[in-house]
Structure 1
Amino acid sequence: MRTVQSVLIAVLLTASSAALAQQAGIEDRLSPAEFRAAGLDKLSTAELARLNELLARDSAAAPTAAPAAPVATDVEARIAQAREEGRREARTADLGKRPPQASREPLESTISGPFHGFARGREYVLANGQVWKQVDSASLAGARGQDVAARIRPGLLGVWWLQVDGYNTQAKVERVR
């Protein structure tokens, strides 16, 4: 077992020294003027050898690290794009269910056309073009009218209440359009 380890260590040392020998030193990569301008001519032979070892190690590690950065950036870009698409879908889905309320102010208008009382699922078209749908089971049987005055006021937790003139009963409604 010890022999195998010794052989492996020898092979690794030979391979690493061959790689270092193939690497050009800093003195070979720079022109003599650049070498002097960088102050490298002041280094001793040992310091220059150590600098070359460090550069070789960093250049050997650089190719493995360089491709990883664009992949991470690409992944982050895809995540950001997916988030934005999800936000757009959520906005579209919310708009399909019910339009956003411009304000939480009470509204006074008239119900356009005939009014036949309250009933779950019934839609009420106001003179301003808004359409409201009744979502509770409040009833107002026998009530009849044409272009009846109505008030829609906000309640707690985003609920809206519809009440028509002449009656105390109110119905829970939500805006359709």
Structure 2
Amino acid sequence: MRSILPSLLIAAALLFASPQSLAQQQAIERQMTPEQFQAAGLDRLSPQQLANLNAWLNGKLDVETTKAAQAAKKKVEEENRGFATFGSDEPIQARIVGEFRGFGEGRSYTLDNGQIWRQRDQAKLHGPRLTDPQVTITPSIIGSIWYMKVQGFNTRTEVTRIK
């Protein structure tokens, strides 16, 4: 299993970074050299105009920081579903790549989203020979157990994500 720690640390840093604290440090005159400030013509702004420009820029920074934090959180959750519990009970919808010949303990199932899941229990599903069938993988209500079900069949099996 690959380590999820770096991704989690990045997401946590973005989530806990206060947009207000970042914005307070972002006065444009402190971010530019005096030469850059003058070359941009910002030295000709009145103090009120400069304050308005800083307020607008900081508002944009707040919005973009929030968007980036949300995108990072979603990416970490999606990439690591099945490895760790993030409180999401949303099912995973995907297709098994290639031929599916039923369930059997220890079998691995590669999905079109790049995930690989291994069957943990002894559930059997004999007979089907399907190409690229649709599957739904859902977490259990309690614990970190996941179940896979193939569309069109009532049998489900316990699976563990291995990649």
Q: Which structure would you say has the larger Rg? A: 1
What TM-score results when the alignment is normalised by the length of structure 1?
A: 0.43
Q: Which is bigger in relative contact order (C-alpha 8 A, separation at least 6)?
A: 2
